[in-house]
Amino acid sequence: MWAQVLEVEAVGEQDNFFALGGDSVLATRIVTRLRQVFASDAVTLRTVFLSPTVAGLAAGVVAAEEVPGRAEAMADVHLRVARMSPEEVRRELSARRDAAGTAADA
């Protein structure tokens, strides 16, 4: 996510967002994406400015979670989906809808 927003090839967990070329506009994009992924308002611009590394933000997200383990589970799902092709996503969603329909019929 950071690499996409910063338009760099890779970002390490201790790399500083601002040292990599980040600014307040790009920080806003990061915050928006993190809020979408984690379905939480826990990440703010202030969080990015105070903890401008992937590791620092991750620690902040985990510290703010109401259900232990939820942030890690959400991140795992996001990463898995991000690696899938659009066709793989469609197949997975279809399979899950089918399974939910079968369970509801039982």
Domains annotated on the chain, with CATH: 2-105 (1.10.1200.10)
5-64 per-position pLDDT tens digit: 999 999 999 999 999 999 999 999 999 998 888 777 888 999 899 999 999 988 888 887
Alpha-carbon Rg for the chain in angstroms:
17
Cβ burial, residue 71 (10 Å; 0-12/13-18/19+): buried
44 CB-side CA count, 13 A: 6
In Å, what is the CA distance from 12 to each residue of 15, 16, 17, 24, 54? 5, 9, 10, 20, 7
- Looking at residue 70, its pLDDT comes to 77
Reported confidence tier of residue 66, pLDDT bands at 50, 70, 90: confident
Please state the pTM of the whole predicted model.
0.67
- Looking at residue 20, its pLDDT comes to 95
Reported confidence tier of residue 78, pLDDT bands at 50, 70, 90: confident
